[in-house]
Amino acid sequence: MLLVQVATTIPFVVPRDPEESPASWPAYLLTTLVNVPLVWRRRAPVWVMFGVIAAGSLYRLSLDGPGQPLPYAALIAVYTIALICAPRVRLVMGVVVAAAILGSVALNTTTAKELLFSLFVFGAAVALGRLQATRQAYTAAVEDRAAQLERANRIEAEQAAARERARIAREMHDILSHSVSIMIVQAEAGPVAVRRAPARAEAAFEAIAETGRDAMAQLRTMLGVLRAAEAEAPRAPQPGTGALPALLDRVRASGLRVSYERSGEVRELPAALEATVHRVVQEALTNVVKHAGAAAVDVRLEYGPRALTVTVTDDGKGPGGESGGGHGLIGIRERAAAHGGTAWTGPGPDGRGYSVRVVLVASPQEVGS
């Protein structure tokens, strides 16, 4: 509004020809009255338009003051209507403004030149208003799209963090459950061995210490992932099929007879799949040590053209024991599903003992990736 007031003030302050209409204070105040309604142009653009037309008509009919190069207040009002009003309102106000233009031209020069010029400038105000409305709508759409992308990225990051927490929880469960189970079995057998076979007791305590050291090393690696500075986290490869013999030796130290067999075309697998095989065997053996009451367990890896089958079978209590429940077998199923595989648990051959069978996808394409 201030800029419009400045523009309408110019004809009153510049030098004028004495033959022209005088620049009086009443004329200036009435000109200012034409501009006042613009204060409410965004809240009530239609009423502002009517106010500007009424004040302009009053000025034209009651005073003979300096004219204006352009009807600034009316143009701003038309621009605002084109910018923020609905199509039906714009149409009605277009008819009203056109009628006001015809009346103004009739009271002034009554020439086609003035009529065409007035229609042109008011049409330009309408075009600018619609152009600005389109620009604002486009900007709002872009901002909304950016907000949606930000929300989607935030949700994806939260889901990724949740998956990582679940993965770390599975890893820590596998490490702790296996190591603590082996240590408990060795510790329970220790007192008996001290009395009957001191040499065996010494080996049992050494196995406890070795299992504890291995668990601490793996936990240190896992907890390093949780550090804020990822670059400072210790980096070490996850244990794979190459670490299975050492794992089986620790289980054998608990007094359990463990056999290990590989069949098919033995080959190197992707690191993630190697780690999954190790964790599956580790968890299955942990369940045997904790729940099965078994004397022997058989571990088999069968390498097929497109799949690797891991089977762990014991001669313990069978499905009636506790080995069929808990988080361990849930973790095994989740690991299998992560590699497009399946996990099955149930009674062993002839209904004796318990068997865990996991099929993991291991196609040549995956191996080469």
Q: Which residue among 44, 76, 110 closes a domain?
A: 110
The CATH number linked to 334 is 3.30.565.10
Q: Which residue among 82, 110, 138 closes a domain?
A: 110
Q: Per-residue pLDDT for the chain (369 aa), expressed as one digit of tens each?
A: 677 777 777 766 677 666 666 667 777 777 777 788 888 888 998 998 888 888 878 777 776 666 666 788 888 999 999 999 999 999 998 899 898 888 888 877 788 888 898 889 999 999 999 999 999 999 999 999 988 888 888 888 788 777 767 776 777 766 676 677 777 776 766 676 666 667 666 666 777 777 777 777 767 666 665 554 444 445 556 788 888 998 888 888 777 889 999 998 888 888 888 888 988 898 888 888 877 778 899 999 999 888 899 999 998 876 544 444 455 677 788 888 888 889 998 888 877 888 999 999 876 444 444
Flag whether 348 is in a domain.
Answer: yes
| pTM attached to this predicted model | 0.47
Domain that holds residue 345: 256-369
Flag whether 88 is in a domain.
Answer: yes
CA distance 245 to 117: 95
Q: Which residue among 56, 88, 110 closes a domain?
A: 110
Q: Residue 95: which of 79, 73, 78 has the closest Cα? A: 78
Q: How many domains does the chain have?
A: 2
Which tens digit of pLDDT belongs to each residue from 129-145? 999 999 999 999 999 99
- Those residues whose C-beta lies under 8 Å from the C-beta of residue 282, and which sit 6 or more positions away, are 174, 178, 247
Flag whether 99 is in a domain.
Answer: yes
Flag whether 101 is in a domain.
Answer: yes
Flag whether 16 is in a domain.
Answer: yes
Copy the structure tokens of residue 362: 């291991």
Flag whether 12 is in a domain.
Answer: yes
Flag whether 67 is in a domain.
Answer: yes
Flag whether 174 is in a domain.
Answer: no
Copy the structure tokens of residue 68: 């204006």
